Chains A and B, each alone.
Chain A
Amino acid sequence: MDVMPKWADVVLVPLFSLLLAAFLSALLILAIGESPSEALSLMVQGTLLRSAGWGYMLYYTTNFIFTGLAVSVAFHASLFNIGGEGQAMMGGLGVSLVCLFIPWPHWSLAIVGASVGAAVFGMIWAGLPAYLQAKRGSHIVITTIMFNFIAAGILNFFLVGALKPKGSMDPATANFPASTHLPTFEDMAQLLGFEKMFRSAPANVSFFIALLACVAVWYLIWRSPLGYEIRALGKSGPAARYAGVGSVKIIMITMMISGALCGLMAINTTQGESERLILNFTEGAGFIGIAVALMGRSHPLGVLLAALLFGFLYQGGAELALWTKIPRELIIVIQALVILFTGALTMMVRAPLERLFLMAWRG
């Protein structure tokens, strides 16, 4: 039986999980010898009170939306895609090939081409483990995580070999041609007549593609027959079998959509920010996608909000590292705590809340 109303489940549980994580983080900051309240105000000042701070935050948020949506889509089919890192890396490879070897007349066309390249490469990289799961029964958690390492290896191979410009010492591709460069928030602000906005911040148009992806995923999961089948298989394998929903087909399609979303992250990082393919450009965003999806309850709106939160934590964490003794890694600790509370320990948060609601109902 549902003890709590839906809103409480959706809003209160993540909120309390977050508060618990924040509380423990505050203790940690105290232990380091800094003041938690000052740390918080530094974080807020460095992100929310400066337009450039927003520019950085939304750049991270864009990554987390893509990877968070990717993990969410897989979650709906009860599949755990831990391979976001690898799929995003392959997406980066796709973006680079499209940007380097096709002469694009304008960025608006280049972003379409790069999106297709990113999605297809991510799709293939998720499709292989999906096939192994669907047909051979190899567990997707194991295979996707192994595919992360393979992807890193492949990226390395290309960046020290075929894709590295002659004579360069840097494991990276050549810079993409100027016609593929995406307008940043700074460019857009200037276009609208605001000078000095989002100064040199990396956020770019791919943020809007991420927002579009949220809407698309919402339609896919809650409005389309395919989404219905994905959810049906995720909720009950035997029932899906009875209804004639083919598990092989659904596992393949779901994982490929998931991989495509991860791959799309590269249009933000690779085409939008670095404007060339570099090593380790994913910076763990594939894993943060898991936390984002857990916190966002696999709903696109929740993913968007959680991605904003993690964008804030990332940018705020950089500010902390800059001005205090608090290392940037603290953000990883906070992230781990959020995963712990929203994922593994969700019943620890939910059970007392449920008791509270039961008590309130009984009066």
Chain B
Amino acid sequence: MPGTIHGIIGENGAGKSTLMSILYGFYKADAGEIFIDGQKTLIPDSQAAISAGIGMVFQHFKLVENFTVLENIVLGAESGEFLAPSLRKARAELAELAAEYELNVDPDAVIEEIGVGMQQRVEILKALYRKANILILDEPTGVLTPAEAGQLFRILGRLREEGKTIILITHKLREIMEITDTVSVMRRGEMTATVKTSETSPEHLAELMVGRKVLLRVDKTPAQPKHQVLEVSRLNVVDEAGVLRLKDISLNVRAGEILGIAGVAGNGQSELLEVLGGYQSATGSIRVNGSEIDLTGSSSDGQSRRARGIAHVPEDRQREGLIMDFTAWENAIFGYHRDPDHQLNRFLMNNAAIREETAAKMARFDVRPPNPNLTAKNFSGGNQQKIVLAREIERNPDLLLVGQPTRGVDIGAIEFIHKQIVALRDRGKAILLISVELDEILSLSDRVAVMFDGQIMGERDPSKTNEKELGLLMAGVISEARK
């Protein structure tokens, strides 16, 4: 509806971005029709979307870094063969737009020299310059500071007053409640509900978002935690762009328990795993079995961490956990390839022994086909994950870091992987589990911590909490401090 802000909310992978990509002509829908102002519209490509009055502001900006604001706005919408008249025309129009919507940007500033908030305004101006009536914003506040987000919302409010239609995609309930008029909830590719924002509550939306799926409960006995294995205190990570990714994280894991970390992807979980795994520098302190771990120095790398008894099943097995062009047996020692057990002498590896050992491991972990000479890319997702898991678990580590253990893994393998993780716990090992699957966190963990925006929002006992409460923590709506 003109002059409204419509929110679309859902977990990662629920299909929000796919839906918007269809609206913007990046993907083609297999079936169904799009109506704009009551008229059926075909959108085969983004040019068609633009001429239909749709403007898109992507999560990752599509700007030419070393062009000026003006040049970026004109790019692709030049009015003639020569650039100068286009730029003159754009400069005049830009001034009008800026006045109309309170979107003040210096047209001659170079993109790489202005802040993200400004860059986002340029993206919005780009859409308006192309006469957009429908503005789609994909996770617009993901890269913004709270103050910048506030400014953005003021701009959006102004656009609404001027009769523009705005679609806001987000997974933050707070934003939905703050600015939208109506909201649609998506889950697993389906639009599960569309409600008026004024008639709903964050709790209700969280319930709609997470769904009431039956839990895949894992058979496990109550944990018998023993001594502290992992103690993390006041961990901070600043990424290359200077953004604070982890803010004073403190947590601990005991031997014989699983600490699950829930949270929407991108809230610092990956950075936490990388720091613990030894390939992201941080400040703060990490102690394993009571002794301090080097966080920045020369012994802060994966191999040193493994030597300290930390095994790591990374979140992305195809990018990090495995080398897709290596054979299963080569992958089966990845990270442990310098171990004396794998060497004949200082200069040669004992390839025959590694092959034999891998074949045995593959049998124990039911990897199919159990052929150690097959390249990793020829295994299915579940079997690839089993190769990684076998490598890390069979080392009998004191602490196992697991990221997204069952992402892209078929149901049968999920059960097997869960059992292996619980079995390791029952052998008295400490496990830190990170997953975006709430079900998985709830069924595996003995304690659940929720991360949001680089912070631990709170810790819960999985038997005494529910998805609703966790969902709110995940969306940053309530925090320990406010309770």
Contact = CB atoms under 8 A, between A and B. Distances in A.
Interface string A236-247: 101101111110
A232 B324 CA distance: 10
Contacts of A225: 337-338, 342-343, 349
Contact of A243 (B335, B351, B375): B335
B271 to A, nearest CB: 14
B320 A241 contact: yes
Interface string B316-358: 1001111111100010001101100011000111010000000
Contacts of B347: 219, 224
Nearest to B298: A246
A243 B326 contact: no
B16 interface: no
A59 B349 CA distance: 34
- The contact size tier of chain B is 20 to 34
B6 interface: no
Contacts of A229: 337
A236 B324 CA distance: 8
A1 interface: yes
A231 B306 CA distance: 21
A244 B303 contact: yes
B321 A242 contact: yes
Interface residues of A, number: 20
Interface string B254-268: 000000000000000
A228 B301 CA distance: 17
Contact of A2 (B277, B337, B349, B375): B375
A1 B334 CA distance: 22
Given A223-B348, A223-B351, A232-B326, A244 B319 contact: no
A136 to B, nearest CB: 16
A239 B337 CA distance: 13
A224 B351 CA distance: 9
Contact of B348 (A224, A239, A243): A224
Contact of A242 (B277, B342, B375): B277
B279 A1 contact: no
A235 B337 contact: no
Contacts of B319: 236, 238-239
A242 B348 contact: no
Nearest to B319: A238
Nearest to B336: A243
Contacts of B306: 244
A251 B165 CA distance: 53
B305 interface: yes
B304 interface: yes
B380 to A, nearest CB: 12
Contacts of A231: 326
Interface string B284-304: 000000000000000001111
| Among B279, B304, B312: residue with most chain A CB under 10 A | B279
B349 A244 contact: no
Interface in B185-222: none
Given A235-B323, A235-B325, A236-B319, A224 B349 contact: yes
Contacts of A238: 316, 319-320
A297 to B, nearest CB: 13
Contact of A244 (B305, B314, B351, B377): B305
Given A2-B375, A228-B349, A239 B304 contact: no
B13 to A, nearest CB: 21
Contacts of B463: none
B476 interface: no
Interface in B71-126: none
A229 B335 CA distance: 9
Nearest to B349: A225
A231 B312 CA distance: 21
A223 B320 contact: no
Interface in A211-258: 219, 223-225, 228-229, 231-232, 235-236, 238-239, 241-246
B278 interface: yes
B323 A244 contact: no
Given A235-B323, A235-B325, A238-B319, A246 B301 contact: yes
Contacts of A223: 348-349, 351
Nearest to B343: A225
A67 B459 CA distance: 60
Contacts of A219: 347-348
Contacts of B323: 232, 235-236, 239
A246 B278 CA distance: 12
Contacts of B304: 244
A235 B323 CA distance: 7
| Among A224, A236, A244: residue with most chain B CB under 10 A | A244
Contact of B334 (A2, A224, A243, A246): A243
B378 interface: yes
B279 A242 contact: yes
A228 B320 CA distance: 16
Interface in A311-350: none
Interface of B: 277-279, 301-306, 312, 314, 316, 319-326, 330, 334-335, 337-338, 342-343, 347-349, 351, 375, 377-378
Q: Which 3 A-B pairs have the closest CB atoms?
A: A244-B302, A244-B303, A244-B301
19 contacts: A219-B348, A224-B347, A225-B337, A225-B349, A232-B323, A235-B323, A236-B323, A236-B324, A238-B320, A239-B319, A239-B322, A239-B323, A241-B302, A242-B302, A244-B279, A244-B302, A244-B304, A244-B335, A245-B303
Interface of A: 1-2, 219, 223-225, 228-229, 231-232, 235-236, 238-239, 241-246
Given A219-B347, A232-B323, 14 more contacts: A219-B348, A232-B334, A235-B323, A235-B326, A236-B319, A239-B320, A241-B279, A242-B320, A243-B335, A244-B279, A244-B303, A244-B304, A245-B302, A245-B303
